[in-house]
């Protein structure tokens, strides 16, 4: 393997060639970083040749700092993400389903990640199993997608239902939505891991970014 470039900022060592190597560039996880640190990381990625630098889990102060440095940056408040540079033209389609409206912020992170990854996204909200007819109503749309992302909290049952209706890979995202025994998403996570229907890939609790990257790679491979 050729030598890989690193930008050493002292507090962070950025992988400048990750995008070329894996198809997904290094993305700045802003939680736990100061606004100035996040801005410095984004600047280093751009200076390293990335056409797009983006950060996840961006709070209001960090969003303001990013816009202060790059007024034309795109800040998606729902997804808690910030983008500096050119968003790629989309190819393919990923269908993103949420079980309920409360799962929306995680689904927004999925959609933002798909956009930054150059993959098209169609989102349908509030199709949880408490009204299973709502899931069945979107069944014809499943065949049109390259992959499906299902975002669900509470009992986390929706991915199993969806996986029983399609031959597409289902990327399941448990969320921390739910009452006490949901254990902040652990119940949904365990339900998804023990899904009866095959073809379900499970990511970590509230990990919309990881789900978006996984679905984007599937969609780009399908388009090839």
Question: Which residue in 44, 82, 29, 13 sits closest to 210, CA to CA?
Answer: 29
Q: In the chain, which residues have pLDDT < 50?
A: none
Detail the DSSP E strand segments found in 78-160: 81-85, 91-98, 119-124, 147-152
Find the helix or strand (DSSP H, E) in which 198 lies. Answer: none
Find the helix or strand (DSSP H, E) in which 100 lies. Answer: none
């Amino acid at each position: 393997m050729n030598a890989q470039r690193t930008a050493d900022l002292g507090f962070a060592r950025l992988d400048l060639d990750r995008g070329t190597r894996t198809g997904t560039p290094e993305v700045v996880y802003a939680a736990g970083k100061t606004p100035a640190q996040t801005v410095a990381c984004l600047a280093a990625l751009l200076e390293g040749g990335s056409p797009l630098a983006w950060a996840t889990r961006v709070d209001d102060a960090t969003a303001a700092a990013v816009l202060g440095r790059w007024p034309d940056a795109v800040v998606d408040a729902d997804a808690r993400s910030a983008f500096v540079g050119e968003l790629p033209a989309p190819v393919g389609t990923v269908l993103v389903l949420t079980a309920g409206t409360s799962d929306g912020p995680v689904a927004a992170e999925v959609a933002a990640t798909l956009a930054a990854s150059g993959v098209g996204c169609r989102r349908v909200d509030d199709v949880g199993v408490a009204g299973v007819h709502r899931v069945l109503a979107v069944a014809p749309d499943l065949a049109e997608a390259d992959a499906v992302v299902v975002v669900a909290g509470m009992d986390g049952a929706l991915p199993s239902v969806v996986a029983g209706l399609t031959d597409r890979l289902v990327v399941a995202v448990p969320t921390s939505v739910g009452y006490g025994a949901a254990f902040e998403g652990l119940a949904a996570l365990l339900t998804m891991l023990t899904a009866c229907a095959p073809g379900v890939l499970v990511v970590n609790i509230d990990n919309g970014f990881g789900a978006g990257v996984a679905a984007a790679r599937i969609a780009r491979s399908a388009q090839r």
